[in-house]
């Protein structure tokens, strides 16, 4: 199963980016293979519709779970429609590496 964590940078040391649609990077983590890949978000600076653009990407990549700080209503509607699980992280100090570590622990249980 594929999970996306919104990230402020392109490494595991980067903190979670709390904005879904306008996050700087995506960490695409595959629970089956345990591999993680960082991808730049090209919707950061669009004038409007960043949320739906980013949600579109999640569905195209067949992502089943997104971990971020907040989601706008339009992005949420679209992701809900395709049964993508939305996780809201209130603790913004967590790094992407720590979040991936937690996901690994859980899948190991």
The distance of Cα 74 from the centroid of its chain, to the nearest Å, equals 16
DSSP letter, residue 42: T
Asked if 52 interacts with other proteins (CB under 8 A), we say yes
Question: Which residue among 78, 84, 99, 100 contacts other proteins (CB under 8 A)?
Answer: 78
Q: Which is nearer to other proteins, 55 or 66 (CB)?
A: 55
Q: Which is nearer to other proteins, 2 or 74 (CB)?
A: 74
Asked if 45 interacts with other proteins (CB under 8 A), we say no
The distance of Cα 90 from the centroid of its chain, to the nearest Å, equals 14
Please tell me the distance from the alpha carbon of residue 37 to that of residue 57, in angstroms, as a whole number. Answer: 15
Longest dimension (CA), the chain: 43
Residue numbers at the binding site for other proteins (CB under 8 A): 43, 46-50, 52-53, 55-56, 59-60, 62, 74, 78, 82
């Amino acid at each position: 199963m594929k999970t996306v964590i919104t990230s402020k940078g392109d490494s595991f040391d980067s903190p979670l980016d709390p904005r879904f649609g306008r996050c700087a990077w995506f960490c695409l983590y595959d629970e089956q293979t345990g591999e993680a890949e960082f991808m730049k978000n090209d919707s950061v600076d669009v004038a409007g519709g960043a949320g739906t653009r980013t949600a579109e990407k999640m569905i195209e990549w067949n992502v089943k779970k997104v971990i971020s700080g907040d989601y706008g209503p339009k992005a949420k509607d679209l992701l809900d429609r395709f049964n993508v699980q939305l996780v809201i992280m209130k603790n913004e100090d967590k790094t992407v590496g720590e979040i991936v570590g937690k996901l690994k622990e859980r899948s190991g249980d």
